[in-house]
Structure formats: C-alpha cells, structure tokens
Amino acid sequence: MRFKPPLFLGLAATLAATACTDPAYGPGGEYQRTRQGALIGAAAGAVLGASRPGSNDLEQAAGGAVIGGIVGGVVGNVLDAQARDLRGDLSGNVGVIRDGDRLIVRMPQDLLFAVDSASVRPDLQRDLRVVAQSLLDYPDSTVEVVGHTDNTGSAAYNQDLSERRARSVAGILINEGVPSRRVAAYGRGEDQPIASNYSPDGRQQNRRVEIIIRASR
C-alpha cells in the first residue's frame, strides 16, 4: 500500500469544507446527524479506498470517500426520518433519542408495567404498536430491547425482572409483525442508571425499557 497522509488530510479537509451548509444540517439542526453520517462515511471510505492496491492513491481515496459518504448520508437520513415519525406518533412521556448510528426509544416502566410485574398492561400497549409499525415501515434495521431497573431490592431480582420485561416487550413487537430475527432482548438490571437512585424521581427514570434501533449497513 502506498498511503500518503497528506493526500488523505487534504481530502478530509475538502469534504469538511464542502459539507452542506443548510442550517438544518448544522449544529442543533434537524439533520445534523445526517451530515455527520455522510462525513464519517466519507472519511472511512477514503481510508479504505486509499488502502487498496493501485497506482493512484488520490483517485482511490476519492472514490472510497464518495461511496462512503453516500452510504453514511443515506443511513443518517433514514434514522432522522424515523426519529421524526416516532416523535410525532408516540406519547409525550416516551423519549426518542438520536445517538450516532442508532435510535433509542426510551419507555418509562410506568407506561408499561405494574409494580414488580413483567406483563405489559393491555391498556398500555399503544406505544409499542406504534414502534412495531415504525419498524415495519423502516425494515432495514435491527432491534435490541433492553430492560433496566432501579436499585431497590436485590441485584439478582432486578436482573431477572429486567430480562423478563425486555422479553415481554420484544414479544409484543414480534406479535405485531416484526420478524423475530431482527429482535434481541436482554436485561441490564440496575447496572446502567441514567439518574441518581438516591431520589424517587431518579429511581423512576432508571426503571425503563429501551428499544434500540440500529440501521442495517
């Protein structure tokens, strides 16, 4: 391989300078992640292109950057669109977080379960049906359903409860038509809090199920 760092750095600078300047793609803009995905994909494609055997490092890097940028931009755009749709259709208490190459649909326990129960209440399943329909509308993704608890009770009990709740939610998604091969379910118990367990409000935030959607490449 004849990889020339100055060529890659110059190309990366050109890509950054020529990125879309629409405010929607800038910091805080609706499509900021789409732009970031395109730039990351372009940079990765440039490295891969330049690493291929050949006589022209610049041409191969440029070709890899174009392909990588297109793929990264498309993936980012799809996730942006799915996030926008979910935010419009889900209840106000459900969070939709865009995090790099994934979406996190965060559902508080109280929206799904009675205390110490792993059975999703029938009257609280609407939001899960909305998520299932979104997964059918955007089929090129995989899904992880992750249960979380606060630290009340023993760690072993909380781990078991989080696993059972994750399986319950995954089962509803699958029953609504999402192919089982796309869905994985597991629990984290009390190990990944997002707030302090020293207050009732913090413990309430930690009791949750997260549906993590990753775009297929």
- In this predicted structure, the answer to whether residue 71 has a pLDDT above a threshold of 60 is no
Residues 62, 98: one domain? no
Residues 72, 99: one domain? no
Mean pLDDT of 46-60: 56
Least confident of 106-115, 167-176, 177-186: 106-115
Query: For position 137, which CATH number holds?
Result: 3.30.1330.60
pLDDT at 187 (0 to 100): 98
Question: What proportion of the chain, given as a percentage, has pLDDT over 70?
Answer: 65
Mean pLDDT of 99-103: 93
The last residue of one of the domains, among 54, 76, 98, is 76
Average pLDDT of the chain to the nearest whole number: 80
- In this predicted structure, the answer to whether residue 15 has a pLDDT above a threshold of 80 is no
Sequence letter at residue 54: G
Residues 47, 112: one domain? no
Tokens of 161: 């409860």
Residues 183, 133: one domain? yes
Residues 210, 110: one domain? yes
Residues 96, 191: one domain? yes
pLDDT at 76 (0 to 100): 76
82 lies in some domain:
no
Residues 64, 144: one domain? no
85 lies in some domain:
no
Residues 109, 29: one domain? no
Residues 128, 47: one domain? no
- pLDDT tier at 117 (50, 70, 90 boundaries)? very high
> In Å, how far are 51, 67, 82, 104, 125 from 107, measured between CA atoms?
44, 36, 17, 9, 11
Residues 109, 141: one domain? yes
* Residue 195 · residue 91 · CB < 8 Å: no
50 lies in some domain:
yes
- In this predicted structure, the answer to whether residue 153 has a pLDDT above a threshold of 60 is yes
User: Roughly what angle, to the nearest 10 degrees, separates helices 57-89 and 32-51?
Assistant: 150
* 3-state secondary structure labels for all residues of the chain: CCCCHHHHHHHHHHHHHCCCCCHHHCCCCCCHHHHHHHHHHHHHHHHHHHHCCCCCHHHHHHHHHHHHHHHHHHHHHHHHHHHHHHHHHCCCCCEEEEECCEEEEEEEHHHCCCCCCCCCCHHHCHHHHHHHHHHHHCCCEEEEEEEECCCCCCHHHHHHHHHHHHHHHHHHHHHCCCCHHHEEEEECCCCCCCCCCCCHHHHHHHCEEEEEEEECC
- Torsion sign over Cα 113, 81, 217, 58: negative
Mean pLDDT of 174-188: 98
Residues 56, 151: one domain? no
81 lies in some domain:
no
Angle at the Cα of 168 from the Cα atoms of 164 and 170, rounded to 5 degrees: 115
137 lies in some domain:
yes
The last residue of one of the domains, among 47, 76, 105, is 76
Give the contacts of 141 (CB within 8 A, at least 6 positions apart): 135, 182, 213, 214, 215, 216
Question: Total domain count for the chain?
Answer: 2
Whole domain around residue 182: which residue ranges? 90-215
11 lies in some domain:
yes
The last residue of one of the domains, among 27, 52, 76, is 76
Q: Higher pLDDT residue, 33 or 162?
A: 162
Tell me the whole-structure pTM to 2 decimals.
Answer: 0.69
